[in-house]
């Protein structure tokens, strides 16, 4: 296993597995959306050696983020341009706009690894957080239905608030876990690489239909736990 991680740009350390910056820097990820969570993900990935292509409806936000990150990030012309040369795309968007953005990107997502942190929540007329999907409806299954059939989906990076995500990255001596779900091996491998690059240890919960466990209100949301406890929580459900 150690040899596999070295080959994929991750080396062993006293505290676990951490990215080898020389190898990881050759990888490129598109970040679509530079709001609070998108910016937090971008900064953690860049600090781990990832090259980023940023795109946002708020171009000034994307420019400020790129300037903050430095040479590792550039601002793409648009969402489709951000995907050029990218190994994966993280769509850090509000759930309410996700479908329209995916429609606009269309076949540019063909055969791409797509990582979605979006939680299916919004605010009601009184400012209360409400779930936007019916009870029992999986956000992962809904998002999968919006994607081209050849796109490879993983739901990840939305299991913590932005503040908790930033404060829990590169925890020592034991890394904090980020949970994810996917149906396929390829996005699983890529999202695990990204999670480690961001300073966490990945733990797969299951297939896309399990995405509700990661969301706001889910039993695995906003938890800061190590790998052993994380696997116990997943297996104990």
| Per-residue confidence (pLDDT) for residue 8, from 0 to 100 | 35
Domain count, the chain: 1
CATH number at residue 207: 3.40.50.720
| Per-residue confidence (pLDDT) for residue 135, from 0 to 100 | 82
Entry pTM: 0.86
Domain span including residue 46: 2-235
If you write DSSP's letter for every residue of the chain in order, what string do you get? Answer: -HHHHHHTTEEEETTEEEE-HHHHTT-EEEEE--SHHHHHHHHHHHHTT-EEEEE-SSHHHHHHHHHHH-TTEEE-SSHHHHTTT-SEEEE---HHHHHHHHHHHGGGGTT-EEEE---SEEE-TTS-EEESS-TT--HHHHHHHHS-TT-EEEEES-SS-HHHHHHHTT-SSSPPEEEEEESSHHHHHHHHHHHHHTT-EEEEEESGGGGGGTSTTSTTTT----HHHHHHHHHT-
| Per-residue confidence (pLDDT) for residue 189, from 0 to 100 | 94
| pLDDT values of the chain reduced to their tens digit, one per residue, 237 residues | 222 222 234 444 434 444 444 443 469 999 999 999 999 999 999 999 999 999 999 999 999 999 999 999 999 999 999 999 999 999 999 999 999 999 999 999 999 999 999 999 888 888 888 888 888 888 999 999 999 999 999 999 999 999 999 999 999 999 999 999 999 888 899 999 999 999 999 999 999 999 999 999 899 999 999 999 999 999 986
């Amino acid at each position: 296993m150690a040899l596999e991680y070295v080959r994929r740009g991750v080396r062993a350390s006293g505290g676990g597995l951490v990215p080898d910056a020389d190898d990881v820097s050759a990888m490129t990820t598109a970040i679509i959306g530079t709001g609070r969570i998108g910016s937090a993900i971008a900064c953690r990935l860049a600090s781990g050696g990832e090259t980023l292509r940023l795109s946002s409806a708020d171009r000034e936000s994307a420019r400020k983020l790129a300037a903050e990150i430095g040479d590792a990030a550039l601002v793409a012309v648009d969402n489709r341009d951000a995907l050029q040369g990218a190994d994966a795309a993280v769509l850090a968007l509000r759930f309410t706009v996700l479908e329209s953005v995916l429609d606009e990107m269309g076949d540019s997502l063909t055969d791409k690894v797509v990582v979605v942190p979006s939680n299916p929540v919004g605010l009601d007329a009184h400012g209360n957080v409400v779930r936007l999907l019916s009870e029992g409806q999986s956000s992962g299954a809904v998002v999968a239905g919006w994607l081209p059939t050849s796109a490879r989906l993983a739901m990840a990076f939305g299991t913590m608030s932005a503040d908790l995500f930033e404060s829990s990255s590169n925890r020592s001596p034991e890394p904090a876990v980020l949970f994810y779900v996917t149906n396929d091996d390829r996005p699983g491998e890529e999202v695990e690489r990204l999670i480690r690059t961001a300073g966490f240890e990945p733990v797969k919960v299951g297939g896309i239909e399990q995405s509700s466990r990661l969301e706001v209100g889910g039993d695995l949301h906003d938890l800061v736990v190590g790998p052993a406890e994380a696997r116990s929580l997943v297996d104990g459900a």
